Amino acid sequence: MRRPVILFMPILILLAACSSTPSADSGTATEPSASASVGSQFVTSRCAIQGGDPTAESAAPIQGTTMSGVTVAQAKAPVITIAPALPAATEVQTKTLITGKGKVLKASDTLTFNYCGVGLVSQAQFDSSWANGAPLTYDLAGLIPGWSVGMPGMKIGEQRLLIIPGAQGYGPTPPAGSGILPDESLVFVVELVSIGK
């Protein structure tokens, strides 16, 4: 099975595939206790700002689309709010935020996309192509397994919220320096820009 590795470069994070065999218990990995790393506040990340300080709020946002304690509001780039102490995801969850049209993404396709990623427990944004100023192009099969489950069927222009269990993200050994916790469930907002190279 192929697992991606995040390679950190100044201002830009690239996803690249590498060959790896998941451990036998990768489907039963446990996520760190939310109470150990997160307070009792909602935390908002603005995808237009790379590494910007997230904003803590005492109440849930009043606007946006919510799924499993994650709310996405639309602005120049998505704004993601994570509720406090959410449980680890046990399966890939998806919700369409903006409807697309035209060609439909297949698991075997190469895609160009914008995305923003936030840890469900850490509530920290670890990357945003919107903030980096340019979409990325990769084979869907070469990205993390949760994307291969949650993205097929997207249409060009569609924006989708994905919540991915740690075992279908980076598992117990996330890339060094990424800010992603071991076995952390991940939240992504992904926008399909085009299909094909």
Q: How far apart are CA 131 and CA 109, in angstroms?
A: 25
3-state secondary structure of 75: coil
Going residue by residue through the chain, which has 197 residues, state the pLDDT in tens, using 9 for 90 and above.
333 333 333 222 334 333 233 333 333 333 333 333 346 799 999 999 886 668 898 888 889 999 999 999 998 899 999 999 999 999 999 999 999 999 999 999 999 999 999 999 999 999 999 999 999 999 999 999 999 999 999 999 999 999 999 999 999 999 998 999 999 999 999 999 999 97
Q: Give the DSSP per-residue string, 9-40.
A: ETTEEEEEEEE----TTGGGPPPPPHHHH--S
The whole-angstrom separation of Cα 47 and Cα 159 is 13
- pTM beyond 0.75: the answer is yes
Q: Does domain 2-21+37-195 have CATH number 3.10.50.40?
A: yes
Alpha helix (H) residue ranges in the chain: 34-37, 129-132, 145-150
For the chain, domain boundaries: 2-21+37-195
Q: Are strands 70-73 and 79-82 parallel, antiparallel or unpaired?
A: antiparallel
